[in-house]
A and B are shown apart, each in its own frame.
Chain A
Amino acid sequence: MRPRTVTAALFALTAASHAAVLPDDRADLLWHDWDGGGVTVQGPSILVRKSVTDSLSLAANYYVDMISSASVDVLSTASPYKETRKQGSLSADYLHGNTTYSLGYIESKEPDYVAKTGFFSISESMFGDLTTVSFGYTRGWDRVGEDLHQNGLVSTVWVGDADHRNWQASLSQILTRNLLLGVNFETDESDGYLQSPYRSARYVNPEGLVQTEPQVTPNTRTGNAGSLQLKYYLPWHAALDGNYRLYHDTWGILAHTVGAGYTQPVSTDWTLRGSVRYYRQNAATFYSDLFPFEDSQNFMSRDRELAQFHDLTLGVGASWLFHPGWPRWIEKGTLNLSYNRLHIAYGDFHNWLVGGPPGGVPLYAYDASVTQFFISFWY
C-alpha cells in the first residue's frame, strides 16, 4: 500500500492508539482532459470505496481514455486516429491490528494493447503511530499489438508480450507536530516486447537521404526510483510540501523530478492549491534522432520518451466543501477543479514535419493543458 494513501487514512481519523485505519469510505467522479502536442485525451475516472465490515474495505475503479491523436509521431508516418482505452480495477484492504493487507487487480484494454496487473502490499503502523512502513509487489502481463490499416479496414496483429515485476518499499514518518516525511523506493523489471510497433528509427542512406527502419529496443529493462516527500504545517493554517525523485534504469536514463506545492484554506469551505514540478532526463544509450547509417547499432530508437528533455508544470486548484443534507447517509462532499499547464522541450528530438534546411529543423517543444473536474462524496 502506498504511504500516501496510508498517511491519508491514518490522519483522516487519527483514531485508536497503536492502530492503523482503513481508508475513508468515499466515491469520486472525475472528468479528465489532456490537450497538447496534437493529442487530446478525455474521459471519466470513477472510484467507489466502501468498508463492508470493520476490517475490510473494497474499492472499484473505472477509467476511460478517449484519444484523438495527431501527434508528431502519428503525422510523420500515418494519419490522425481516434482510439478508446478502458480500464477497470478492483481492490481490497484488510485491517488486522496495526497491519493492512491490500490486494488488487487492474485490467486495461485498447484495440492494440491489453495490460493485466495484480498487486499485493502490506502496511504496518508502528512506534505510537509515528511510523508506517509498507512493502508491495506488483506483477503485470501485457499483450502488445499493432493496428494495420488495409483497404479502409483496421485489424490488430499481436506482435509480442511484456512481463513486469515491480517491488515497492515505503516509509511514512511523523517528524514533529507540524512535519511529515515520506520515503519511497521502487524497482521495476520488465522483459519482452518493450517498444512501440508504430515508431521507427531514422537514418541517413548512402545517397544522403533520410530513411526509416524499424526500431529495436532491448527486451529487458530494470529501473530504480527513490523519492522523498515533506509536508509542513504553517502556523496560519496552510501546508507547504516538497518532493524529489531520482530515477535510473538499465537503458541509461537518469531522471530528476523536483516539485513543490502550497495548500491554503481561504474559508471553512474553500481551499486553494498551487504547485510546480520540474522534470529532466537524459537520453537512453541507444536513442538517436538520426542514425548515421542503416543498422548502425544493435539497439536503435527514436522514441521521444527516451530522448533528452525537460518539462515544467505549473498547477492551480480549488476545492469547495459542502454538506448536501440529502441523502442523509452522505456526510460531506467536495467539488474540485484543477488546471495544470505543462511545457515540454526536447534536447535531441527534432520536429521534422516542420521541415527546413539541414541543421535548421527546430527542436520539438510543445505546451499542454491538463484539466480535472471532480466531485467526491464521503459516506
Chain B
Amino acid sequence: MKPMILEHRAIHAARALALGLALALSVTASAAAIAPGAPAPSFQLHSSASTDLSLGDLKGQVVLINFWASWCGPCRQEMPVLEQLYRKYKAAGFTLLGVNVEPKSADAEGFLKSTPVSFPILFDPDSKVSRLYEVSGMPSTVILDRTGKVRYVHHGYKPGEESEYLDQIRSLVRE
C-alpha cells in the first residue's frame, strides 16, 4: 500500500502555511506606548532601602530601568554587568533602578544576598509598573534621558549586549 502523493502534498502545504504565517507575522511589532521619544510614565515603588522612590525624583539624571526576577537566568547573568555600569557612570549623573517583578520578595532578597548590588532595587509585587512599561520579555531594560523621555528599549539579555548599553549611556550622559 503505497503512501498517497496527494496526502504528502497536503502535509507540505499545511506545514508551509503554518510556518509562513508564523515567520511573517512574528516580525510584526506591536505599537507600544513605551517607544523612543515618548515620555516615561511616572511611578513610585518601595525600595530595598525601606523608603519609597519615585521616578520624578530622578529628573535631570540619565536613568536605566531594568525589570528582573530571580527565577530568570539571563536576569541573574545581567546583574553584575549592571553593577559595573552603575559604578562607572554614577558620578556623571546616571542612575540605575532594578525593578523586581516577583509577587514575593523572599527569593529576590536571597539572590541579592549572594550577589549584592549598590544600585536601588525596587519591588513591584502587583506588576503595576511592569504593565505600565509594557514589559514583554524578561529581562527588559528602558533607558531614559535627563528630561524623562524614553530613548532606548531592550528586550532580553545576551552576554555582550552591555557594550550597547555603554554606548547609549555614554551618549545620553553627554547631552
Stretch at the interface among A7-15, A298-306, A314-322: A7-15
Stretch at the interface among A65-73, A121-129, A193-201: A121-129
Judge whether A135 is part of the interface by a CB distance below 8 angstroms.
yes
Q: For chain B residues 104-145, which have a beta carbon within 8 Å of chain A? A: 136-138, 140
B136: A residues at CB distance < 8 A:
17-18, 128
Closest to A187 in B: B11
A250: B residues at CB distance < 8 A:
1
A54: B residues at CB distance < 8 A:
158
Judge whether A217 is part of the interface by a CB distance below 8 angstroms.
no
Closest to B73 in A: A13
Min CB distance, B141 to chain A, in Å? 11
Judge whether A283 is part of the interface by a CB distance below 8 angstroms.
no
Supposing A133-B22, A167-B11 touch, asked if A13 and B72 sit within 8 A by C-beta, the answer is yes
Supposing A122-B19, A167-B11, A220-B1 touch, asked if A14 and B26 sit within 8 A by C-beta, the answer is no
CA distance A18 to B138 in the complex (A): 10
Partner of B74, one of A13, A97, A98, A189: A13
Residue-wise interface mask of A (157-178) relative to B, using a CB-CB cutoff of 8 A (1 in contact, 0 not): 0000000010100000000000
Closest to B1 in A: A220
Tally of chain A residues near chain B (CB < 8 A)? 24
Residues B158 and A124 in contact, CB atoms below 8 Å apart? no
Closest to B18 in A: A133
Judge whether B36 is part of the interface by a CB distance below 8 angstroms.
no
Most buried by A among B26, B71, B157: B26
Partner of B23, one of A19, A99, A128: A99
Count contacts between A and B, CB distance < 8 Å: 59
B137: A residues at CB distance < 8 A:
15-19
Judge whether B15 is part of the interface by a CB distance below 8 angstroms.
yes
Supposing A18-B137, A98-B26 touch, asked if A135 and B73 sit within 8 A by C-beta, the answer is no
Judge whether B155 is part of the interface by a CB distance below 8 angstroms.
yes
A133: B residues at CB distance < 8 A:
18, 22
Partner of A14, one of B1, B3, B73: B73
Residue-wise interface mask of A (199-223) relative to B, using a CB-CB cutoff of 8 A (1 in contact, 0 not): 0000000000000000000001010
Min CB distance, A177 to chain B, in Å? 10
Closest to A131 in B: B22
Judge whether B39 is part of the interface by a CB distance below 8 angstroms.
no
Closest to A24 in B: B73
Closest to B15 in A: A135
Partner of B22, one of A15, A124, A128: A124
Supposing A97-B26, A126-B26, A133-B22 touch, asked if A17 and B155 sit within 8 A by C-beta, the answer is yes
Main SS at interface, chain A: mixed
Tally of chain B residues near chain A (CB < 8 A)? 21
CA distance A13 to B69 in the complex (A): 11
CA distance A288 to B156 in the complex (A): 60
CA distance A126 to B22 in the complex (A): 7
A12: B residues at CB distance < 8 A:
73
B140: A residues at CB distance < 8 A:
17
CA distance A54 to B11 in the complex (A): 32
A98: B residues at CB distance < 8 A:
22, 26
Min CB distance, B24 to chain A, in Å? 11
Partner of B156, one of A15, A99, A126, A220: A15
Residues B138 and A17 in contact, CB atoms below 8 Å apart? yes
Residue-wise interface mask of A (123-145) relative to B, using a CB-CB cutoff of 8 A (1 in contact, 0 not): 01010100001010000000000
Min CB distance, A195 to chain B, in Å? 17
CA distance A96 to B152 in the complex (A): 23
Partner of B155, one of A16, A126, A220: A16
Min CB distance, A183 to chain B, in Å? 14
A124: B residues at CB distance < 8 A:
19, 22-23, 26
A97: B residues at CB distance < 8 A:
26
B15: A residues at CB distance < 8 A:
135
Residue-wise interface mask of B (11-27) relative to A, using a CB-CB cutoff of 8 A (1 in contact, 0 not): 10001001100110010
Residues B74 and A15 in contact, CB atoms below 8 Å apart? yes
Residues A19 and B156 in contact, CB atoms below 8 Å apart? yes
Residue-wise interface mask of A (284-321) relative to B, using a CB-CB cutoff of 8 A (1 in contact, 0 not): 00000000000000000000000000000000000000
Min CB distance, A20 to chain B, in Å? 11
CA distance A259 to B138 in the complex (A): 34
CA distance A54 to B15 in the complex (A): 27
Min CB distance, A8 to chain B, in Å? 13
Most buried by B among A13, A97, A222: A13
Closest to B74 in A: A15
Known: A13-B73, A18-B26. 16 other contacts (CB 8 A): A12-B73, A15-B72, A15-B157, A16-B155, A16-B156, A17-B155, A18-B136, A18-B155, A97-B26, A98-B22, A124-B19, A126-B22, A133-B18, A167-B11, A189-B3, A222-B1
Across chains A and B, which 3 residue pairs bring their CB atoms closest together, nearest first?
A: A17-B137, A16-B156, A17-B155
List residues of B whose CB falls within 8 A of some A CB. Answer: 1, 3, 11, 15, 18-19, 22-23, 26, 71-74, 136-138, 140, 155-158
